[in-house]
Amino acid sequence: MKAVVTRQHTASFLPQIPTNSNKWKGGTPYRVRQEKKSDKSTQILSREQIAQFRNSLKQNISVQLLQEGYHRSFSEFFSLLQSEQSRIEAADPSSDLRLQTPLEDQPDKLEAMRLHLSHAEQAERIGSWSKVCEQRLLVAQFFSAPEDLWLRLHFYHSCADREQGGRSRPATEARACMADIYLQQGDLLEATHQAELCYQQAEDGGWLDSTGRPLRLRAQQTLWEIYTRRADALLDAAKYKEALKLLHRGHSIITESEDKQGEGEATYRLGMAYQRSGDHDTAKKFLNTSMQIYDRLQDAEGLVKAYKVWVTSVERYTQTQTELP
């Protein structure tokens, strides 16, 4: 019987991967390539970078301001955070202030302060005073939440009350904003002060506020509202002479602004005030003028209210004339 000869296969199942072949001389082995890739992705953290993970954001921003040479910005930043802490500690335990999130736990607000304060200080170094005020106006407008009103007023004042730059467009807008705030708070004297300064500074500037509204017109409308509210309090106290003086001033300003709706209301208010003071003849004249303005504006509601008061003035004037000897 013939022996069965089994053919031996010298080739393996998987192809051989040469390890020392010359064709690898121009390339880089995978292990080495991976080590180099790892070297690029692995970085040794500096002491400052490590500190960022350990320190609070407040501390990191403080260090950054100092390292970059913004010492005034650091002082103001630190002072404001300390001021807030003092306000919280002094507040009544049941006060809403105790429930508010502290500034140091609000990254967006801390970063806004750092950014605008440092930019303002940088502008101050080169004497760009309008730019200084612009940065302070911007950071004031950033703090729009009701609980940040104290911060908003701080930055508005730091913008408008400057010896250098205090009459610039941004500073004038800051005064307009403060006039609105103090009016809302019922502080009519401070509102008058800010609005009158805004009116004086914007008188010849032709400036617009951040929303595109003329600053002069804004000051005129605010002043009229302030004078009207102050006059109402004087009328309630029967101080007619002082009240009429304020109403005439407000009427003059709003008429100058060419705000016809405001002019009609200001004229109506004067008629009402003269009626309360007992001068029905003068009241009748102002009320008649207000009706003409409302009629041109096609303001039916204004026309009706002015007509009702006008009728009363006519009746009372007629009555006083018949009572004369």
**Alpha-carbon gap, residue 277 to 325, rounded angstroms:** 22
pLDDT tops 80 at residue 235: yes
Who has greater pLDDT, 196 or 3? 196
Q: pLDDT digit string (tens) for 25-69?
A: 444 444 444 445 444 444 555 666 555 556 788 999 999 999 999
Q: What is the share, in percent, of the chain residues with pLDDT greater than 90?
A: 70
pLDDT band at 73, cuts 50/70/90?
A: very high
Please answer whether residues 119 and 135 qualify as being in contact, where contact means their C-beta atoms are separated by less than 8 angstroms: yes
Please tell me the pTM assigned to this model. Answer: 0.79
What value does the mean pLDDT take over residues 134-140?
A: 98
Instruction: Select the CATH number that applies to the domain covering 259-325 from these four: 1.20.950.20, 1.25.40.10, 3.50.30.30, 1.10.10.1100.
Output: 1.25.40.10
pLDDT tops 80 at residue 307: yes
Domain locations along the chain: 51-132, 259-325
**Alpha-carbon gap, residue 170 to 227, rounded angstroms:** 25
**Alpha-carbon gap, residue 177 to 197, rounded angstroms:** 12
**Alpha-carbon gap, residue 255 to 57, rounded angstroms:** 53
Q: How many CB atoms lie within 10 A of CB 104?
A: 16
**Alpha-carbon gap, residue 152 to 157, rounded angstroms:** 9
**Alpha-carbon gap, residue 297 to 291, rounded angstroms:** 10
Q: pLDDT digit string (tens) for 79-97?
A: 999 999 999 888 888 888 8
